Structure 1
Amino acid sequence: MKSVLPVIFAFVFLWGCSQKAEETPVQQINVSESHIMEVIKQITEKFPKADLQHLEKGVRHAASLWRNSDGNSGEFVNFCVEKYIGNEEEKQIVFSRMSEYFESLFGHFNKLSIDLRKNVDLQTGSLHPVDYMFSAYSAGAHLTNDFYDNKIAFLVALNFPYYSTEEKNELGKSWSDLEWAYARMGDVFSSRVPSGLLQKSAAVSAGSDAYIAEYNVFMGKLQNQAGESLFPENMVLLSHWNLRDEIKANYGNHENGLEKQDIIYRVMQRIIDQSIPEKVINSGDFNWEPYENKVFQNGQVVDAEPELDNRYQQIINNFRAYKDFDSYHPVLNTAIKRSFSGNMQIPQEEVEQLFHEFLSAPLLRQVGDIIQNRLGRELKPWDIWYDGFKARSSIPEEKLNAITRAKYPDARSLEEDLGNILKKLGFDDERAVFLASKIVVDPARGSGHAWGASMKAEKAHLRTRIPDGGMDYKGYNIAVHEFGHNVEQTISLHDVPYYMMNGVPNTAFTEALAFVFQERDLLLLGMKDENPDAEYLKTLDNLWSVYEIMGVSMVDMQMWKWMYENPDCTAGELKIATIEISKNVWNQYFAPVFGIEDQTILAIYSHMINSPMYLPNYAFGHLIHFQLEEHFKTHSFAPEVERIFSLGQLTPDEWMKRAVGNSLSVEPILTAAGEAVDHLR
């Protein structure tokens, strides 16, 4: 699943970046060009050796944030002349102290968020409405506005101005670590959004999280058309993660695996078109036959109202909360721009073009043919999650479950084993102990996630679902993925040159290390793949994963474009549009490979509800993952993980060049997959 953004990223990126003046109907900017030039004139007289270009950038950035409520133009001039730091040694001292202050603020607000969401996120028993109320509260919502009121934000903007992604890409090539840290300090106050909107958005987000965390399907209550139940009575799966993973698990089931996959597929269709009976969601009180959509109680058919459009109403709620920020970002004036040009630091148009290039590759048809031959049947829509290239696909799930349940009966047993896991991956004893000591394991109410710390005194949290009988293999696989996130979060907090550089360029980079860890899950259980074609199969597995998630990401992006074109849409209208978008994406990129048209399965991902526009990060994460794996073939794993993920928050391109020596591209994986296809054929 996803990595939860540390608080510093929420402040720096979530609300986007802007260099130009912000205007609202109430507060108008009142700093004229003549006053800006007066500031520059007085400061250069005071500090004759000042860097004029940097000075002007800082003054203009501070002016773009100044409002009537902050003072008149004369007060702006006086503030800038008084607060400009013209001595480099003094500037470094101020930077160091502010970094300490920000670490404490961001770290403690992050801890407050973890504490207030504890009962909603973790298996602590039944939930009360008050739990949702507290989880929706954002303790740090007023921080940025407070810092405009007390003028700290203007001191930062003046002395550590904001640089756009394009400027960072160009200027950052020659920047020192300190200059990068200064630039990241400038990102903190790049826009000015009212705290009320921040609080509202946090509440909407918490509502969507709660909706998804409780969206369970009681598999033992599912029936096929003959009235038979094929799943264990106590199996409860969260949509979509666990449903998808159950499909993957049944590729090794030659008895009734295909039928079980088909039933899950029918469930997914009912979720997407919202015909799923509301009373079977997160309930084991009824039996459900999803083919004809019949609900039974005590063997008798009972009336069951569909969920209607709750799923799509959650999406609209997030859309409108995000859209409320648009007027405060004249440059990145849509949530789409903020998500891509702001958060990912890659424009959405470039992301979509890269995905189109990959999804249109003729090579995918050849890989589809290989999968069809290996399955001995025609491809089904759910084969977007084909798992047969992995070594585990030939191992019965029951065997894997027995191993993981015995090894990890509870969260504590996994936490105590984290150091040993790191040693198996090549980390020396000292580093393994240190990294493990900075991570705690919590039993998740949902599928699981990784929540990083935002100050060195706190720990990262690994959340994973652990049933009463112990951790099953699916949960273990997710936990190893989340552990990869936690290792990145810990290294990129403790080992970066400066605190303000902590983290990675965007969440795709933490997904990459999570995939690296996840791919080694069987190795960590002491199972080694002796297949001489293992490397070729692994390459095709990576390729197929990229294929699937890029298709899903295309649906997500196009859905958001549609909402911006139809901002007053109803949930019912959004449902119709999303289903149509999913069919169009399928027909363009998947029908030529699968030989089936008008499928909607690409719209099943829960991220579309509670993690708006996060999905493209997985696709980029897979591409980065592949290039990292190629790098690890000729470099020692653990030392390189530590070096690479201590680079900090550079731009994506600069990070990739320093990490592996090349820019991010689809060519490496397509080339390697072509070689794998030639070998296997």
Structure 2
Amino acid sequence: MKKIFILCAAFLTLVSTTNQVIAEKKAETSNITAETIKSTIEELSANCLDKALLEKGVKHAASLWRMSDGTEADFKNFCKKSYIADKAEKEVVFQKISRNLEIITGHFNKITLDLLEPVHLNTFEQHPIDNAFGAYSVGSHWMNDFYNNKIAFTIALNFPSFSLAEKEANAKNWTREEWAYARLGDYFTARVPSELLQAAGTAAAGSDVYIADYNIYVGHLTDKKGNRFFPEDKVLLSHWNLRDEIKANYANKKDGLDKQKMIYQVMKRIISQEIPEKVINSGDFEWDPYTNVVYKAGKTIDATPEPNERYQQILNNFHANKAIDPYYPDQNTFIKRQYDGAKEISAEATEKIFSAFLSSEETKKVGKLIQKRLGRKLQPFDIWYDGFKARSGMDESKLDAQTRGLYPNAAALEADLANLLVKLGYDKERAQWLADRIAVDPARGSGHAWGGAAKGQKAHLRTRVGAKGMDYKGYNIAIHEFGHNVEQTISLYDVDNFVMNGVPNTAFTEALAFIFQKRDMLLLDVKDDSPQKEALKKLDLFWSAYEIMGVSLVDIRMWRWLYANPDATAAELRDATMDIAKAVWNEFYAPVYGVKDQPILAVYSHMLNSPLYLSNYAFGNVIEFQLEQQLKGRSFPAEVDRIFKQGRLTPNQWMVEATGNDLSAEPLLNAAKEALQELK
């Protein structure tokens, strides 16, 4: 752990230094006047393809032009020379740009992936120098280079960007060509200095390092009576494995509740930063999370708390991304860039949708049903209640034995990918084609999926594989990541143009990952013949959405607090985050659980290493349900292939073309009502 904290301190110093330098430097603004823009448009309009598009292109290029790029006369001459007035030539240029962007971004992706292997994979002996290389943002300079060589201005002029409102207004009428041209325009919307992009990458890498090695040796947890509830060699990564351990113990009637309560105490100590620094990623001590006392060889020892490092990581990301704000005229906060930009759903619309869902009467009704099924009052950690799943009544140790036997190492899972797809209905040829484009790696952390960025590159599935083989938790995560990989492969190789590759936002890839993950027992040949299985599946998805929507609101509101308090210390952020988590709990969860002021919604590690990502999971649940409804009675592989070949439309248009319906949480709410009625 000492190496990690030394490296995190180095990251903090680097980010602070960079931000200090940038703070002293004003963001450059355009030197092109409205008069020059008007005259340029007038001179080009005689031979233009589309007057409105020409006007948009000139204005967009002008907004990006700086004194260092040339005078106003230089700008006008550039536009006259570079504007493409012939439709056939424009398509030729578009195809050439698309090809070259795939080459550039694909190779940058490959370099980044390779540099991060010692950080992400447990097959490497890790050294701080690996983390330094992993933090290097190899692609941070290329966009600035393209402004300098004027390629960016050629694209901005001929393929201008469209706002989210404009995309939504045109979504139903645009051809695939028009969509592709608009997506090319998304590449150059702001001119951010490369040193700021590198600083943001450095901060993100530091948070990744911090989280990847944040393990709790639960086999060394004890209560005040000296009771231990976990195997001595059991180690759980925060927060993913801790949460999954809570889920796993609903089937444990012997001491499952004791285990869940103990883990919840650990989580609260992490959130409050009262966790002793000595017990993080170490099995050299015994720790009672209830009293927060640490023992060594049976004797109490001094143990200082972790020094608010959790919240310092959030601050690192905040300051690095806030420094970029002035370079985005419209999306001038990280919140806007993540929601209006990356997700193409505003933060305000997100809060409205989530708050309405969280306030529904169905939350109380489902809560009462869970309480009845448990035979006890709800506990705060029951946000992760797992009893609606077929596996919930199974002994996880038996599942561990099965998955370890099947997958003693990552190579065994990789060899079985095609077979898993056949079980989902794919024919052998298509299954093998997809499997050949996915590699499986043993993860140091909880696991993740990393897609290729150019045809010929494989997607990478990463999950934990212990010394005894892959346990059920690792397998369950692996199937989730496998869903991501299938989406990443289809939406890269099968989409009609490179700049359209992918999905509208990551919520859509999360949806397919959830769909795969829900079929993990099917893939183990464990069948659920319960007549209530469909109703229970609906309630399981409803409860998952209920949990993650609240977590997402905490994430959004914490970032709003940061913008209102940009000079906050890590301790002040800690207190504010806990207050925000408790306020969201009291508003949306206390009426269901009957207990107030719980901080549990602030436990997610994504708040550190994937800022403002959590809403993707919540929307992923909503999208998952709509897709599951579409899949019913239809060929699973044919529909998955058809739907994910659409590429990057706007979220609502993608859903309309996938299912015939708008993107909405209402179908999931209605399904919960139906399921509750059926279970009566």
Normalising by structure 2, we get a TM-score of: 0.96
Tell me the residue number matched to 1:275: 274
What residue is the counterpart of 1:330 in the other structure? 329
In the TM superposition, residue 25 of structure 1 has moved relative to its aligned partner by 3.1
Residue by residue, what CA displacement relative to the aligned partner does 1:623-672 show, whole Å, maximum 9, x if unpaired?
Answer: 00000001111322110000000100000010000001111111101111
Q: CA deviation at 1:124?
A: 2.6
Aligned to 2:361: 362
Matches of 2:26 and 2:138, distance apart in 1 = 27
> Aligned partner of 1:636: which letter?
S
Distance 1:524 1:285 in 2: 38
Q: Is the 8 A contact 1:217 1:281 kept in 2?
A: yes
- Rounded to whole Å, the distance in 2 between the matches of 1:378 and 1:187 is 51
Whether 2:674 is the aligned partner of 1:670: answer no
Give the AA of the match of 2:271: I
* Shift of residue 620, structure 1, vs aligned partner: 0.1
Over aligned residues, Cα RMSD in angstroms?
0.9
CA contact (8 A) 2:108 2:139 kept: yes
1:383 aligns with 2:361: no
CA distance, structure 2, for counterparts of residue 224 and residue 532 of structure 1? 42
Deviation at residue 512 of structure 1 after TM alignment: 0.2
Q: Distance in 2 between matches of 1:27 and 1:664?
A: 39
- Contact kept? 2:511, 2:621, Cα under 8 Å: yes
1:211-226 equivalent positions in 2, closer than 5 A? 211-226=210-225
Matched, 1:463 2:462: yes
Partners of 1:209 and 1:313 lie apart in 2 by 13
Give the drift of 1:27.
3.1
Cα deviation code 1:235-273 (max 9, x no counterpart): 111000000000000000000000000110000010000
- Within the alignment, does 1:153 sit opposite 2:152 as a pair? yes
Shift in alpha-carbon separation, 1:677–1:83, aligned structure 2, 3 A = same
Residue in structure 2 matched with residue 392 of structure 1 by the alignment = 391
**Match in the other structure for 2:289:** 290
- Pair 1:584 & 2:578 matched: no
Instruction: Give the partner amino acid of 2:142.
Output: L
Distance 2:223 2:449 in 1: 36
Give the Cα separation in 1 of the matches to 2:137 and 2:341.
22
Mapped contact 1:442–1:463 kept (Cα < 8 A): yes
Relative CO higher for 1 or 2, CA cutoff 8 Å, sep ≥ 6? Answer: 1
**Native 8 Å contact 2:49 2:87 kept in 1:** no
Please state if 1:124 is matched with 2:158: no
State the alpha-carbon separation in 2 of the partners of residues 28 and 449 from structure 1. 39
Distance 1:528 1:534 in 2: 11
- Note the 1:102-121 alignment, pairs <5 A: 102-121=101-120
Distance (whole Å) between structure 2 residues aligned to residue 335 and residue 25 of structure 1: 18
**Higher alpha-carbon deviation: 117-126 or 644-653:** 117-126
Tell me the amino acid that sits aligned with residue 498 of structure 2: Y
- Matched residue, 2:517: 518
1:127: Cα distance to partner? 1.7
- Structure 1 partner of 2:656: 657
Aligned runs of 1:13-162 on 2, under 5 Å? 25=26, 27-45=28-46, 47=47, 50-162=49-161
Partner residue, 2:608: 609
The answer as to whether partners of 1:178 and 1:498 remain within 8 angstroms in 2 is: no
Query: In the TM superposition, what whole-angstrom CA distance separates every residue of 1:11-32 from its partner, at most 9, and x where no partner exists?
Result: xxxxxxxxxxxxx736342111
Aligned 8 A contact 1:563 1:569 in 2:
yes
Return closer, same or farther for 1:433/1:122 CA change in 2, 3 Å cut-off: same
Q: Look up the equivalent residue of 2:501 and give its one-letter code.
A: N
- Aligned-partner SS, 2:487: helix
Question: Residues of 2 paired with 1:26 and 1:296: CA distance?
Answer: 54
CA-CA distance at 1:172 after TM superposition? 2.2
Distance apart, 1:428 and its partner CA: 1.4
State the Cα deviation string for residues 145-177 of structure 1 (Å, max 9, x = none): 000000000000000000011101111211111
Which residue identity does 1:401 align to in structure 2? Answer: D
CA contact (8 A) 1:539 1:676 kept: yes
Provide the C-alpha distance between the structure 1 equivalents of 2:344 and 2:634, rounded to a whole number of angstroms.
28
Partner of 2:508, secondary structure, is helix
User: Contact conserved, 1:85 with 1:91, CA < 8 A, in 2?
Assistant: yes
- State the shift of 1:38 in Å: 2.2
- Counterpart secondary structure, 2:216: strand
Partner of 1:350: 349
Amino acid aligned to 1:449: H
Cα distance between partner residues in 2 of 1:125 and 1:218: 21
2:483·2:512 contact (CA, 8 Å) conserved in 1?
A: yes
Once the 2 structures are TM-superposed, how far is the Cα of residue 403 of structure 1 from its aligned partner? 0.6
Closer, same or farther in 2 for the Cα pair 1:93/1:201, shift >3 Å? same
2:12 aligns with: none
Structure 2 unaligned residues grouped into runs of 5+: 1-24
> Which consecutive aligned stretches of 4+ in structure 1 deviate over 4 angstroms post-superposition?
none
Q: Deviations over 1:23-75 (max 9, x none)?
A: x7363421112211222222233x2x521111111111000000000000111
**Offset from partner CA, 1:206-247 (integer Å, 9 cap, x none):** 000000000000111111222122111111110000000000
Alignment of 1:569-580 (within 5 A): 569-580=568-579
SS in 2 for 1:442: strand
Q: Separation in 2 of the partners of 1:447 and 1:384?
A: 20
Give CA deviations for 1:80-109 in whole Å, capped at 9, x if unaligned: 111111111111111111111000100000
Amino acid of the structure 2 residue aligned with 1:42: E
Separation in 2, partners of 1:173, 1:420: 39
Which position in structure 2 is the counterpart of 1:646?
645
Shift of 1:364: 0.9
Instruction: Determine if contact 1:583/1:598 at 8 Å carries over to the other structure.
Output: yes
User: In structure 2, what is the equivalent of residue 474 of structure 1?
Assistant: 473
Retained in 1: the 8 A contact 2:27–2:326? no
Residue pair 2:266, 2:275 contacting (<8 A) in 1 also? yes
1:28/1:386 CA distance change after superposition, 3 Å: closer
Taking the aligned partners of 2:559 and 2:426, their CA distance within structure 1 comes to 42
Q: Which amino acid aligns with 1:134?
A: F
- 1:340 lines up with 2:342 in the alignment: no
Q: Which amino acid aligns with 1:565?
A: A
The AA in structure 2 aligned to 1:645 is F
Q: Which residue of 2 aligns with 1:494?
A: 493
**Distance of 1:99 and 1:230 partners within structure 2:** 57
C-alpha distance in 1 between matches for 2:124 and 2:456: 29
Conserved? CA contact 1:249–1:397, under 8 Å: yes
Aligned to 1:18: none
CA contact (8 A) 1:27 1:69 kept: no
Distance 1:444 1:289 in 2: 29
2:44 partner amino acid: I
Q: Which residue of 2 aligns with 1:566?
A: 565
Question: How is 1:443-454 mapped onto 2 (pairs within 5 angstroms)?
Answer: 443-454=442-453
Helix, strand or coil: the match of 1:133?
A: helix
Q: d(CA) in 2 for partners of 1:318 and 1:496?
A: 33
Asked if the contact 1:624/1:664 (under 8 Å) is kept, the reply is: yes
Aligned to 1:304: 303
User: Amino acid of the residue matched to residue 407 of structure 2?
Assistant: Y
Q: Tell me if structure 2 keeps the 8 A contact 1:496–1:646.
A: yes
Tell me the SS of whatever aligns to 2:172. Answer: helix
Q: Give 1:314's aligned amino acid.
A: Q
SS at match of 1:288: strand
User: Which residue of 1 is the match for residue 226 of structure 2?
Assistant: 227
Distance 1:28 1:91 in 2: 29
User: Counterpart in 2 of 1:12?
Assistant: none
Q: Distance in 2 between matches of 1:174 and 1:153?
A: 27
Give the counterpart letter for 1:400 in structure 2.
Answer: L
Deviation at 1:392, TM superposition (A): 0.1
Query: Which SS does the other structure have where 1:81 is aligned?
Result: helix
Equivalent residue, structure 2, for 1:532 = 531
Q: How does 1:397-412 map to 2 (within 5 A)?
A: 397-412=396-411
Alpha-carbon distance in 2 for matches of 1:396, 1:317: 42
- Checking the alignment, whether the CA contact within 8 Å between 2:434 and 2:486 is kept in structure 1 is yes
Structure 1 CA distance for aligned equivalents of residues 158 and 579 of structure 2? 50
Kindly indicate whether the alpha-carbon contact (under 8 Å) linking 2:27 and 2:327 is maintained by their aligned counterparts in 1: no
Aligned partners of 1:25, 1:398: CA distance in 2, in Å? 59
CA distance in 2, matches of 1:670, 1:479: 29
User: Alpha-carbon deviation of 1:427?
Assistant: 1.2
